[in-house]
Amino acid sequence: MTDNPLLIPFETIHQTAPFHLIREEHYLPAFKEAMKQGKKEINAIISNNDQPTFSNTIEALEESGHILGTISSIFFNLNHAETNETIQKIAREVSPLLTEYSNDIWLNPALFEKVKTVYNSDEKKTLSSERQKLLEDTHKAFVRKGALLEGTVKERYREITKELSTLTLQFGENVLAETNNFKLHITDRKELTGLPDSTLEAASALAKSEEKEGWLFSLQFPSYFPFMKYADNRELRQQMYMAHASRGNNNNERDNKSIIQKIVNLRVEKAKLLGFDTHANFVLEEQMALKPDTVHKFLHELLDASIDFARADVKEVSDFARAEGLNDELQRWDYLYYSEKLKTNKFGLNDEITKPYFQLENVEKGIFSLAKKLYGLSFKLNENIEGYHSEAKAYEVFDEDGSFLSVLYVDYHPRATKQGGAWMTSFREQHHENGNDIRPHISIVCNFTRSTEQQPSLLTFMEVTTFLHEFGHALHGMLSKVTYESLAGTSVYRDFVELPSQIMENWATQREWLQEVGVHYKTGEVIPEELIQKLIDSDNFQSGYAMVRQLSFGLNDMAWHTLSVPFDGDVIEFEKSAIAQTELFAPIENLAVSTAFSHIFDGGYASGYYGYKWAEVLDADAFEAFLENGIYNRETARKFRREILEKGGTRHPMELYKSFRGKEPSIEPLLKRSGLIK
């Protein structure tokens, strides 16, 4: 009997990961043993002399490697949310082994032959729609992962995938290190005029934690963003901006430029081996958009609709800055600062006015209440469920009938051990096992403003919206109601996965919800009607600029991944050319987004970043149904749950969408919501 807690059944509440028992030295032996068990399970499928059937081949393949999947989920989630040098070292060692393990499955000719036999059999016609989908997905996965390759080409494919697994990890490690390595240390209070007391207090606390005098500012979002918004000192804003914008681009041991070149070239080569002109052609075959031309047309349609608005937005800020005394050209490090001042001037609104009404605990309560109103869900904090960090809380989630639905972990605040941004992930996906519905373990990870000695964690309006967004992803995972793990929850097309998250953002500007969630942390006063109206009125403030900024990311992504020949040029110049149509400021030499663009070089969004805007079209159109019937209308919510949230990847996304909405989506609701058409 092993004493490795990762290799034995979890004797915990809801079989959650026993984080209190897992030590770093357990991971590598557990990975190796789990891979050994997984190979035995695959060999049993191959050596089975019975006629290949859906049950003994496709289902058996689906169920294989279950322990390995559990270990991988735990380990790689921690590598993003609670990492250290040891975990990163293990990740670098184990990632090529996992890629090799995966390749041994997908490139196994005997196994593929059995899959083909089932795929071409008469049994296929008798299967349920979900089983047919699993069969089709499995067959296509083999083809897309090299099963048709032979000889030296197959071996080269193995080499490429192993190298990519290492390079993408290194890219992410470099971004995290570059984020953590910069600190702006200020000892003279006069240099910090304009900054709110809450920001100064947080900076003072950070300085004390590192045994320094004065104030310390980092590149983590809750520190960086308010500094850029409020600091009067233009030179310091420029210093912070340049540090943030040059991550992975400092010609040091953490530089990502050569890694980008290697990644994109390997992706080109891999696509060619598989019969595709570009990496984007390969990826988009399994997306709603289907091909790069569709994506380019979509992005340019939005760009044409928004570029004049964006230019007008920047001109408005520039004119305001000049009136405020800026005697120089408006620069990127000026934009947030003067934009925030202009917003205050136009609407009497800024983050410091709204934050007192958005205490984290109240926002959490309000979001849970929204889930109850829409879907009948209830959330119960269970302190006996171990988290991976002292700040990670665990809730039990129950359905309307009282049945257990999911565990939900929440981890809200930045740490040096956590990557930036916000995301939803899972430690266990929903699936059926031996006739039992195995419920999921879902996690929301954020980087929200911390509490201080003087005040609790108070969220900006953007952070409230981010919370709603990630909670939408969590609902997609928690409400999953499928049979097979590979089709569960968020296992859908990348340009569809943002629909459940982005639709939740719409409630952030709904009067009824704001009155519930907005309560002043000191006085208990409900957010005033006047302030709610200002939030609603300002919702489209600088929306043209925001639209074009997002489109620039999508165009940058597509430029890198529609390369059809190896890239040996300058990363900075390539990006500059790719996003030239979206440029709203004078260029800055030797700066690039790409060197810290983790979504596409260390995440799943390569050739898919456009999906955020694609899904915005879906969510704006879908939310019209709630506006038509009432934002808390249970029947509309039930239909969205039944047709979208529960279905996972069991049907094509457009089929699911039309089942909910009764029609294909229109781009007009998005343009209308963004204020780009009347």
Hey, what are 620's tokens? 């704006």
Q: Tell me how far apart the terminal alpha carbons of the chain are, to the nearest angstrom.
A: 68
Beta strands in 74-212 (DSSP E): 183-186
Q: Which residues contact 617 (CB under 8 A, 6 or more apart)?
A: 665, 666, 667, 669, 670
Helices (H), 562-610: 571-578, 598-601
Residue type, 157: Y
Using CA atoms, how far apart are residues 595 and 187, in angstroms rounded to an integer? Answer: 31
For residue 217, the cross-strand partners are 184
Backbone angles phi, psi at 274, to 5 degrees: -90, 5
Edge-to-edge strand ranges of the sheet holding 378-381 = 378-381, 393-398, 404-411, 441-445, 423-428
Secondary structure class of 221 (helix, strand, coil): helix
Q: Long-range pairs for 367-372 at CB < 8 Å and ≥24 separation?
A: 367/467, 367/468, 367/471, 367/517, 369/516, 369/517, 370/507, 370/513, 371/471, 371/475
Residue type, 25: E
Secondary structure class of 655 (helix, strand, coil): helix
Using CA atoms, how far apart are residues 136 and 355, in angstroms rounded to an integer? Answer: 49
Look at strands 404-411 and 378-381 and give their pairing: unpaired
For residue 395, the cross-strand partners are 381, 408
Hey, what are 249's tokens? 């681009």
Dihedral sign, Cα of residue 473, residue 476, residue 479, residue 485: negative
Using CA atoms, how far apart are residues 101 and 320, in angstroms rounded to an integer? Answer: 59
| Catalytic entry in 82, 123, 470, 485 | 470
Secondary structure class of 324 (helix, strand, coil): coil
Instruction: Burial-class residue 590 by CB neighbours within 10 Å (0-12, 13-18, 19+).
Output: middle
Of 358, 352, 361, the closest CA to residue 197 belongs to 352
Q: Which residues contact 310 (CB under 8 A, 6 or more apart)?
A: 544, 545, 547, 548, 582, 584
Let me know: does 363 contact 459? Beta carbons within 8 Å. Answer: yes
For residue 409, the cross-strand partners are 394, 443
Specify the DSSP class assigned to residue 528: P
Residue with tokens 């457009």: 654
The length of the chain, given as a count of residues:
678
Of 27, 109, 96, 108, the closest CA to residue 68 belongs to 27
Longest dimension (CA), the chain: 82
Instruction: Burial-class residue 148 by CB neighbours within 10 Å (0-12, 13-18, 19+).
Output: middle
Using CA atoms, how far apart are residues 178 and 182, in angstroms rounded to an integer? Answer: 7
Per the annotation, the verdict on 470 as an active-site residue is yes
Which residue numbers are catalytic? 470
